[in-house]
Amino acid sequence: MTREARGQWFAPAMAAIARRLPFGLSRVVPPNVVGYLLINGCTFSLDLSLLTLFHGVFGVILPVAVTLGYSIASLVSYTANRILNFESHGSVGTQLPLYVGILTVNYLVFIFGLVDGLAAIGVEYQAARIIAACCEGVFLYCCMRWLVFRDAMGSTSVGQHHVAEAADSSSGSATSSTPASEPRPGEPRPVVPARREGA
């Protein structure tokens, strides 16, 4: 099964969810935000589970446990977002180093710095990781949307407002495909010479 076939069910499902968001959010929240939240919610659960396993069960020191859990979960997140959510066709050789660079900045600022800082002042390490995740979520989505998977953007509808615009565009293109002999609405009809009698 091709990558495109595997991702065919995901985009319509996320668009359906985005269209049903309450409080007017359907007009401003893109389907790929919904997909990102779903994927990264799952990978964050994986991250937290690995952190608990490495640090809480095996006794690995906190910085190493955080790094291992974060690295594995981030690789899963990149793969799922590339295939399912953004449906990117860009070169992995270009995207992956950029993604690793972004993860490095994210790790130093939010994961290593913030988690260790909160843990140092007495915040329980799992709670510290959750707080850091809220900060990194916004940062990583922006980087994926406008940097890593920028080749996939421009074709993703955003909420009901954009779906309506797409429908209007489709109807407009249908009008333009009418035969050349039929005038478009608002255009003057061509003058047809009167038929002579006996001609």
- CB 76, CB 43: distance < 8 Å: yes
At 135, which amino acid appears?
Answer: C
pLDDT at 111: 76
For the stretch 60-93, pLDDT in tens is 998 899 889 989 999 999 999 999 999 998 999 9
For the stretch 88-103, pLDDT in tens is 989 999 999 999 999 9
- CB 88, CB 51: distance < 8 Å: no
C-alpha closest to that of 129 among 139, 117, 138:
117
Here the tokens at position 54 are 């490495």
Query: Rounded to the nearest 5 degrees, what angle is found at the Cα of 106, between the Cα atoms of 104 and 111?
Result: 105
- CB 151, CB 137: distance < 8 Å: no
Average pLDDT over every residue of 50-60: 95
- CB 77, CB 39: distance < 8 Å: yes
Confidence band for 158, pLDDT divided at 50, 70 and 90? very low
pLDDT at 144: 94
pTM of this structure: 0.69
How many other CB atoms sit within 10 Å of the CB of residue 77?
23
Above 90 in pLDDT, residue 159? no
Higher pLDDT, 106 or 187: 106
Above 80 in pLDDT, residue 136? yes
Q: Any idea how long the chain is?
A: 199
Above 60 in pLDDT, residue 139? yes
Report the chain's mean pLDDT, rounded to a whole number.
80
Backbone angles phi, psi at 196, to 5 degrees: -75, 150
End-to-end CA distance of the chain: 67
For the stretch 177-188, pLDDT in tens is 444 445 555 555
For the stretch 13-50, pLDDT in tens is 999 999 999 988 889 899 999 999 999 999 989 999 99
H/E stretch holding 29 reads none
Above 80 in pLDDT, residue 194? no
pLDDT at 105: 94
pLDDT at 191: 56
At 103, which amino acid appears?
Answer: L
Q: Where are the domains of the chain?
A: 31-152
Higher pLDDT, 148 or 167: 148
pLDDT at 197: 54
